[in-house]
Amino acid sequence: MEPRSDIPPVEDLLDRLHVVALPMRVRFRGVTVRELALFDGPAGWGEFGAFTEYGPAEASQWLLSAIEAAFSAPPVAARDQIPVNATVPAVEPHRVPEVLARFPGARTAKVKVAEPGQTLADDVARVEAVRAVVPRVRVDANGGWSVDEAVVAAGALGELEYLEQPCATVEELALLRRRISTPIAADESIRKAADPFRVVALGAADVAVVKVAPLGGVGPLLVIAARIGIPVVVSSALDSAVGMSRGLLAAGCLPELPYACGLGTGGLFVEDVVEAVAPVDGFLPVGPVVPDPARLTALAAPADRRQWWIDRVRACHAVLSE
């Protein structure tokens, strides 16, 4: 079988590979250390950071995104700065001010809710603590509620910009949307779906949350954004500064940007591959990122974890080459 012409040989990727382990300030998505593979390519730096539980088929899209960044010339952005929301993990209310302090000037906050082991009362307390500091609040349930639970939660949480992925399936989102007035945003129902446009066809969402890496790159994201027919929010997948730069580029290329984007999660890391850039008046700049060699060395993953990522790159590359 002839290899795909747009996919470099796997050995070329591995020759450019850096695997880093970034310590986090708080547990997010169940992790306290974020491992990522970075590639130093002829067009720039690419990031492959599919979460470890993803198999080769799903993770291969993340590798495709890294290849796009490292080997293809970027599109030209229409704006040079992007409004970003603060991101609040499922922390106790007394920790909320500490988290929000890392997002200076943010006028919108996304709050994690429906965390396993926590209750709706925990979610309400966290949201109220955020609302005391930031006026505009959206919440993300990662599909953790049933329709009935989401109806109750929407009433208990008060006025929200939107509920992000309150239920797991598109059908549930469509049913919920007919029962509540709070806008609904779809995330997993777009980036994990065989048909990302089904949420619109079924009237299941008011907002589309899109992420560069799971969709295969900036190019595919912009195609979906142009066709989906509802407002788009570009968000991160717990990216390093390298991956975040691609999200900011994608947001910068959109013709309209009605919502703050979820691209400020760099504040969740204790250390990153470059010196942290804090938002200014709630905005982050659009531009390429080149990792600091000293940080790449200091943050390098242990040898066994590097080998794990090498094996994973090979497995995902095989999927892309089929």
For residue range 256-285, list pLDDT tens digits in order: 999 999 998 888 899 999 998 989 999 999
Mean pLDDT over all residues of the chain? 95
What distance in Å separates the CA atoms of residue 279 and residue 9, rounded to the nearest whole number?
Answer: 38
Three-state SS at 116: coil
Q: Residue 299's domain is classified under what CATH number?
A: 3.30.390.10
Question: Do 142 and 251 lie in a common domain?
Answer: yes
Domain count, the chain: 2
**Residue 281, token pair as written in the block:** 């008046």
Contact yes or no for 197/223 (Cβ under 8 A): no
Q: Taken in order 267, 269, 270, 272, is the CA torsion positive or negative?
A: negative
Segment 85-101 mean pLDDT: 94
pLDDT of residue 192: 82
Model pLDDT, residue 5: 63
**What backbone phi and psi angles, to 5 degrees, belong to 210?**
-125, 145
Residue 112 is a catalytic residue: yes
Chain centre distance of CA 229: 21
∠ CA 147-149-152, nearest 5°, is: 110
Same domain, 241 and 108: yes
| Alpha carbon distance 178, 198 (integer Å) | 17
Q: E strands, the chain, where?
A: 17-28, 31-41, 44-48, 81-83, 86-88, 108-112, 136-140, 163-164, 184-186, 207-211, 232-235, 283-285
Same domain, 116 and 208: yes
The answer to whether 6 and 319 are in contact (CB under 8 A) is no
Is 312 found in the same domain as 274?
Answer: no
The mean pLDDT of 218-240, rounded to a whole number, is 95
The residue with tokens 């949480």 is: 157
In this structure, is residue 4 part of a structural domain? no
* pLDDT higher than threshold 60 for residue 205: yes
Identity of the amino acid at 63: L
Nearby residues of 124 by Cβ (< 8 Å), 6 or more positions away: 156, 157
CA distance 272 to 285: 17
Please give the residue range of the domain that contains residue 20.
10-73+293-321
Pair (103, 67) in one structural domain: no
110 is catalytic: no
What is the predicted pLDDT for the residue at 278?
87
- Residue 322: is its pLDDT beyond 90? no
Whether residue 34 is contained in a domain is answered as yes
- pLDDT on residue 237: 86
Residue 264 lies in a domain: yes
Which of the residue ranges 9-18, 42-51, 97-106 would you say has the lowest mean pLDDT? 97-106
- With respect to residue 5, please indicate whether it lies within any of the assigned structural domains: no
Buried b (16+ CB within 10 A) or exposed e, 193-203: eeebebbbeee
- Based on the fold, state whether residues 133 and 238 are members of the same structural domain: yes
Residue 152, pLDDT above cutoff 70: yes
Query: What average pLDDT does range 297-307 have in this prediction?
Result: 98
Domain match, 146 and 271 both: yes
Q: Across the strands, what pairs with 88? A: 111
The predicted-structure confidence for 38-89, as pLDDT tens digits, reads as follows: 999 999 999 999 999 999 999 999 999 999 999 999 999 999 999 999 999 9
Alpha-carbon span 137 to 114, nearest angstrom:
15
With respect to residue 62, please indicate whether it lies within any of the assigned structural domains.
yes
Contact 313, 13 (CB under 8 A): yes
| For residue 2, pLDDT beyond 60 | no
Q: What pLDDT sits at residue 28?
A: 76
The per-residue pLDDT for range 160-176, each reduced to its tens digit, is 999 999 999 999 999 99
Q: What is the pTM of this model?
A: 0.92
In a domain, 3, yes or no: no
Which residue type is seen at 203?
A: G
List the catalytic residue out of 102, 211, 306, 317: 211
**Dmax (CA) of the chain:** 60
Report, as an integer, the average pLDDT of 178-190: 95
In terms of Cα–Cα distance, which of 301, 295, 300, 245 is closest to 273? Answer: 295
Residue 311 banded pLDDT, cuts 50, 70, 90: very high
In this prediction, residue 191 carries a pLDDT of: 82
pLDDT bin (cut points 50, 70, 90) of residue 194 is: confident
Burial readout 28-40 (b: 16 or more C-beta within 10 A, e: otherwise) = beeeeebbbbbbb
Cα–Cα distance for residue pair 52/50, rounded to 1 Å = 6
Q: How many C-beta neighbours within 10 Å does residue 53 have? A: 8
| Structural domain contains residue 297 | yes
State phi, psi for 157 to the nearest 5 degrees: -85, -10
C-beta of residue 93 within 8 angstroms of C-beta of residue 125: yes
pLDDT bin (cut points 50, 70, 90) of residue 3 is very low
> Is residue 123 a part of any domain in this protein?
yes
pLDDT, tens digit (0-9, with 9 covering 90-100), for 20-33: 999 998 887 778 99
Q: Which residues pair with 280 in a beta bridge?
A: 283
CATH no. for residue 207? 3.20.20.120
Tell me, yes or no, whether 210 and 164 share the same domain. Answer: yes
Assess whether 165 and 243 both reside in one domain: yes
The answer on pLDDT for 1 being more than 90 is no
| Residue 62 sits in the same domain as residue 133 | no
Residues 305, 241 within the same domain: no
Quick check: 188 pLDDT over 60?
yes
Q: Looking at the structure, do residues 169 and 228 belong to the same domain, yes or no?
A: yes
Of the residues 16, 34, 102, 112, which is catalytic? 112
Binding site residue list for Mg(2+): 140, 164, 187
